[in-house]
Amino acid sequence: MGFSRPHLRCLSPEEADYVIREVHEGVCGNHSGARSLAHKLTRAGYYWPSLLHDATQYVKACDKCQRFANIPRVPLEEITPITSPWPFAQWGLDIMGPFPVGTKQAKFLVVAIDYFTKWVEAEPLATISEKNVKGFVWKAVICRFGIPRVLISDNGKQFDNGPFRELCSQLNIKNHYSSPRHPQANGQVESFQVCCGHTEPPSEPRPMKLPSSSPSAQKAVIPVEIGLTTLRTTFHKEEENEGQLRLNLDLLDETRERAARRIALYQGKMARYYNTKVKLRRFEIGDWVLRKVTQATKDPSQGKLGPNWEGPYKIIQYYRRGTYHLEDRHGKRLPHPWNAEHLKKYYP
């Protein structure tokens, strides 16, 4: 006797396995959740003592349910603020483009931004070859601001190659590469790209250089002050201005220390707020996981009806917090570590 129906047939383990498989993914199955599956089984007139537990375990291990599962939107790892110990010690590198073709066929932009001062260096390029990127880092970063402590970039071949690594090794520069599909690891330069994307192009082309005879090139006044002088330009005294500039340089170290404390305070406040929403996801070495399908690996013929996850892959190494090295079923190691936000545990 049952509460949902007058008579329920009690099944043996073998019969229960057949029934639960047929109802969940058979001809009339719809890959429903565990409780819905248990409800369908009782309505069909079946029962056994571990019905709900068996339904839960079967749904959890269903291959199709795992591959087509929704992608979680909650953060899965605590945020790690990136700080620079002193000015020009840590730079973020990235490539922007392609843009409309400009002078000398330039359509790409290689960008470097200092994590402490937010100073930006950029150079237009016609091609983003390894040689061009290496030359940019040498001229725009090392020769102008000294040897940095850390260079942060993505895994593009322009940054992750033998000559570039050799240059950094000779100068004792550490290379930090963000995991694939995780631009937050190089967030400073990514934020700069967002700012550039919100900037409207000028209605008229601007000159690349101001003429040396122009007052705008010598005293940094705005063009309207040339035709109609202002109080600032009328009473400007070069000697007093020079003295104030030198005083600013004397107080520069104190200003930088105060800015560093403000940045650390803000980052700590931001991290505490962000971490309240985190739902930690941890994997152990030897676990099998599925990886989020990306545009590069998605089958274009499937469109929106394709699976959200691919794999499975095996965890073979813990790289750093929230980042893991993977290998496929054939033992082939993937070239780059992957962040936990792109992984979910697979139950074979």
Over the stretch 84-100, which tens digit does the pLDDT of each residue have? 888 899 999 988 888 88
Domains 77-207 and 287-345 share a fold: no
Over the stretch 192-225, which tens digit does the pLDDT of each residue have? 666 665 455 555 555 444 444 444 344 555 666 6
Between 261 and 224, where is the model more confident? 261
How far apart (Å, rounded) are the C-alpha atoms in residues 122 and 120?
7
Between 181 and 282, where is the model more confident? 282
Its CATH architecture, for the domain 77-207, is 2-Layer Sandwich (3.30)
SS3 44: coil
pLDDT of residue 313: 95
pLDDT of residue 184: 67
How far apart (Å, rounded) are the C-alpha atoms in residues 339 and 348?
22
Measured at the alpha carbon of residue 116, what is the angle toward residues 257 and 176, in degrees to the nearest 5?
A: 130
How far apart (Å, rounded) are the C-alpha atoms in residues 276 and 265?
17
Nearest one of 120, 60, 66, 72 to 96, comparing CA atoms: 120
The runs of H, that is alpha helices, within the chain are 13-25, 34-43, 51-61, 63-67, 130-136, 143-145, 162-170, 187-197, 215-219, 224-227, 231-234, 238-250, 252-275
Class of domain 287-345: mainly beta
pLDDT over 80 at 5, yes or no: no
Length of the chain, in residues: 348
pLDDT over 80 at 4, yes or no: no
Q: How confident is the model at residue 21 (pLDDT cuts 50, 70, 90)?
A: very high
pLDDT of residue 190: 63
Measured at the alpha carbon of residue 64, what is the angle toward residues 281 and 180, in degrees to the nearest 5?
A: 45
Q: Which residues pair with 47 in a beta bridge?
A: 10
Give the mean model confidence (pLDDT) for residues 243-254.
Answer: 88
- Mean pLDDT score across all residues of the chain: 83
Q: How confident is the model at residue 328 (pLDDT cuts 50, 70, 90)?
A: very high
Range name among 21-35, 196-210, 240-254 with the lowest pLDDT average: 196-210
CA 9 to chain centre: 53
Q: How confident is the model at residue 312 (pLDDT cuts 50, 70, 90)?
A: very high
Single pTM value for the model: 0.68
What are the residue boundaries of the structural domains of the chain, listed by start? 9-61, 77-207, 209-278, 287-345
pLDDT of residue 210: 44
Pair type for strands 150-153 and 174-177: parallel
pLDDT of residue 20: 93
